[in-house]
């Protein structure tokens, strides 16, 4: 079946705002989830904001944190649950307008040694999110992804690639007026749980910082930039897209120099599942990729010439990239200087 037939879905109107909508965030006690919910509390008057996660202690700490900062907690709902549990998701999704799916097992090394657990959360969990959203009449679902999903060499990346495919294809299941699904893919979030930055800070006191490979590069963005990008895509999404922000790269060794300038480096070699460089758009996806001033959009329909709905967002017209285009942390045109990174993490 051609892609032209697959995506004969009625195009949803772009949102001007998420005011008065009920929003649920999976993995809501993680770095992204907490920052996104704080962003909503500060800027929007949502009917309900549902914190869905499996960690009761983090939910308790999150509630105390928001109470101490004076936020209106009447809008918040704390739901203990696991994305592996369809019945619990279906209960949580009742009368929800928007779902942000941020829950994942994302530690690369842990996934290599616990592959079935990673599959249960990242793939089976994605299937449960899709089915519960369709069954409960959720309007929009955005799933967060990673650069590791492109040409994956580790299990985590492979599960996220599969998850991305599931969410894109879910638009075929939900009907012409049903739930629309899209994906946001980005790189390393500065200061997030699992980031190398806390590791370097801890090692700084010993005088020696461990580097896996001095050639290694990564895409970087701040958590606030990540939250704002997801919010902007939530308003723009039409269903089936993968949104990728334009963000800078930096060598890991330069990051170490910013955090621990007086330390010597100990090169320990690449860990299981690691890459030297990351890719966010492969050349195989170039034929479906449209460039905007601040982002790229990988469209579900290869025939962009006859399907222009994915080329224009908020009256801004994108430009199709060259057929040999790819977006890599190594060949990126935008690089973080030591001074810029120093300001970001200070």
The catalytic residue positions are: 148
Classify residue 144 by its DSSP letter. Answer: E
Burial class (CB in 10 A: 0-12, 13-18, 19+), 172: middle
For residue 54 the two structure tokens come to: 């499996």
Which residues is 256 bridged to in the sheet?
A: none
CA pair distance 230, 100, nearest whole angstrom: 9
CA pair distance 141, 133, nearest whole angstrom: 8
What does the longest C-alpha to C-alpha distance in the chain come to? 60
Name the one residue in this structure whose structure tokens are 């290694």.
216
């Amino acid at each position: 079946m051609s892609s032209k037939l697959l995506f004969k879905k009625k195009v949803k109107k772009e949102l001007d705002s998420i005011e008065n909508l009920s929003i649920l965030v999976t993995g809501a006690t993680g770095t992204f989830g907490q920052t996104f919910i704080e962003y909503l509390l500060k800027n929007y008057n949502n009917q309900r904001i549902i914190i869905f996660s499996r960690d009761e202690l983090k939910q308790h700490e999150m509630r105390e944190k928001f109470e101490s900062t004076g936020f209106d907690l009447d809008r918040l709902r704390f739901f203990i649950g696991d994305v592996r549990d369809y019945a619990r998701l279906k209960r949580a999704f009742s009368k929800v307008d928007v779902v942000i799916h941020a829950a994942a097992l994302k530690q690369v090394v842990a996934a290599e040694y616990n592959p079935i657990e990673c599959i249960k959360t990242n793939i089976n969990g994605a299937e449960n999110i899709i089915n519960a959203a369709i069954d409960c009449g959720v309007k929009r679902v955005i799933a967060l992804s990673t650069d590791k999903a492109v040409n994956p060499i580790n299990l985590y990346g492979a599960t996220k690639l599969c998850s991305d495919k599931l969410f894109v294809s879910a638009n075929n299941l939900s009907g012409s007026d049903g739930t629309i699904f899209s994906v946001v893919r980005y790189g390393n979030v500065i200061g997030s749980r699992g980031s190398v930055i806390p590791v370097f800070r801890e090692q700084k006191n010993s005088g020696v910082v461990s580097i896996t490979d001095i050639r290694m590069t990564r895409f970087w963005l701040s958590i606030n930039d990540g939250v704002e990008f997801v919010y902007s895509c939530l308003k723009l999404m039409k269903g089936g897209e993968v949104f990728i922000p334009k963000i800078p790269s930096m060598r890991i060794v330069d990051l170490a120099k910013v955090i621990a300038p007086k330390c010597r480096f100990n090169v320990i070699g690449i860990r299981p599942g690691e890459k030297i460089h990351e890719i966010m758009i492969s050349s195989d996806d170039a034929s479906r990729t449209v460039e905007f001033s601040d982002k790229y959009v990988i469209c579900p329909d290869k025939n962009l010439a006859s399907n222009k709905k994915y080329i224009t967002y908020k009256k801004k017209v994108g430009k199709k990239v060259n057929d040999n285009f790819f977006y890599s942390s190594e060949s990126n045109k935008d690089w973080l200087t030591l001074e810029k990174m120093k300001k970001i993490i200070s």
